[in-house]
Amino acid sequence: VLTDPRGVDPLRAGLADYLGRVRGVVADPARVMVTCGYSQGLGLVCHALHAAGARRIAVEHPSNPEYREIASRAGLEVVSIAVDECGIRIDELERADVDAVAVTPAHQDPTGVVLTSERRAALVSWLRARKAIAIEDDYDAEYRYDRAAVGALQGLEPDRVVYAGSASKILAPALRLGWLVLPPSLVDAVCDEKVLADRATASIEQHALADFLTRGELDRHLRRMRIVYRARRDAIVEALAKELPEARVRGIAAGLHVNVELPASDDERAIRDESYRRGIQFSTALGEYAPYADDALPTLMLGYARMPEPAIRIGVHELASAILATREGVSR
Ligand SMILES: Cc1ncc(COP(=O)(O)O)c(C=O)c1O
């Protein structure tokens, strides 16, 4: 029997059920494809769009430069569209003359905003009018702490939105498992790309995840981890308020990291280097992402997924003293 490039049947069925139930995704197993993570899924879709004649794709600004590179290597011209407090700017998108757009509606990466319902509706209208395709990176949707997450954009326009999910945040990034839910019109083209890329994702891991899903273990895991991560987020926000009152935590209560904005006079790179020397590692917005607007403030992206609360309190204390050291021009 030939390997199905979309993945093994039990996992595609399990994902269709899970995504419909938890994220409001319109998914039947026939349009589900298992990938080696979001990165691969994005590349496959970009290659398929390019093969079908697409030339330009919009991406959020700021957004992960690696994903811009993936789109560009698939032959698409990448156009940056600004993100404000309500998510991607649809007025700019309307003027951009693009065939597709890649978005992070549930929790914008890296600003941490959520795409408002007005913007979602405007995005869907634009997709229909333009006959364009959106790639929805449903990043962090399972980890929303203050309320139930907004349903997936795909549920509003399943024929024009490619839904993309990943096990990286909900289970482990080392698994290298992700999934796409494709508009019917793209299934064959993306299957062709998947065959050329790697034939299909490894089946043993797929069967293991299917088993985990169908026994309800993923639901249980997420229920448990939401409580754990929420406590960690509260601990980091509290410790920052105490140790660094001049810092501002940006973005909604979601995900596995907080964005911490510092006063303009702080030196983001010096703080990162001094913190690394003290054993604290994190990304910075200007350092690793396409820059924010010119007036962007220094921003630290502090991950808390792997740190219990006492370690978080110690880490933030040490971070505050690293920041102080950079302000005083001394290092330890
Ligand atoms: C914005 C964003 N989307 C998706 C992912 C998941 O990517 P992958 O499935 O390739 O690990 C990540 C990585 O953690 C991410 O930062």
CA distance 233 to 231: 5
Contact 297, 223 (CB under 8 A): no
3-state class (DSSP) for residue 68: helix
CA distance 260 to 300: 5
Supply the pLDDT for residue 189. 98
How many Cα atoms sit within 13 Å of 98 on the Cβ side? 28
Give Cβ neighbours of residue 234 (< 8 Å, ≥ 6 apart): none
Cβ–ligand 1 contact at 39 (below 6 Å): yes
Contact 254, 138 (CB under 8 A): no
What are the pLDDT digits (tens) for 3-36? 999 999 999 999 999 999 999 999 999 999 999 9
Angle at 236 between CA 254 and CA 82, to 5 degrees: 45
Which residues pair with residue 82 across a beta bridge?
Answer: 61
- If pLDDT is split at 50, 70 and 90, which confidence band does 271 have? very high
Supply the pLDDT for residue 285. 82
Contact 284, 298 (CB under 8 A): yes
Question: What ligand 1 atom has the least distance to the C-alpha of 166?
Answer: 9
> Over the chain, what is the mean pLDDT?
95
Say which DSSP state 29 is in: G
Question: What ligand 1 atom has the least distance to the C-alpha of 64?
Answer: 1
- If pLDDT is split at 50, 70 and 90, which confidence band does 297 have? confident
The three-state (H, E, C) secondary structure of 123-184, written as one string: HHHHHHHHCCEEEEECCCCCCECCCCCCCCHHHHCCCCEEEEEEHHHHCCHHHCCEEEECCH
Supply the pLDDT for residue 2. 76
CA distance 104 to 113: 9
Shortest-distance Cα residue to atom 6 of ligand 1: 38
Question: What ligand 1 atom has the least distance to the C-alpha of 39?
Answer: 10
Q: How far is the CA of 138 from the centre of ligand 1 (A)?
A: 9
Question: How large is the average pLDDT for residues 75-104?
Answer: 97
Shortest-distance Cα residue to atom 3 of ligand 1: 139
Q: How far is the CA of 318 from the centre of ligand 1 (A)?
A: 28
Q: How far is the CA of 65 from the centre of ligand 1 (A)?
A: 12
Residue 294 has pLDDT above 60, yes or no: no
- If pLDDT is split at 50, 70 and 90, which confidence band does 148 have? confident
Which residues pair with residue 81 across a beta bridge?
Answer: 60
Other C-beta atoms closer than 10 Å to the C-beta of 66 total: 11
Angle at 115 between CA 250 and CA 71, to 5 degrees: 95
What are the pLDDT digits (tens) for 302-322? 999 999 999 999 999 999 999
Q: Is the peptide bond before 10 cis (omega within 30 degrees of 0)?
A: no
Other C-beta atoms closer than 10 Å to the C-beta of 329 total: 8
Supply the pLDDT for residue 31. 98
Question: What ligand 1 atom has the least distance to the C-alpha of 167?
Answer: 9
Supply the pLDDT for residue 288. 75
Residue to substitute in 39, 45, 179 for testing ligand 1 pocket (most ligand atoms within 8 angstroms of CB): 39
Residue to substitute in 104, 139, 179, 306 for testing ligand 1 pocket (most ligand atoms within 8 angstroms of CB): 139
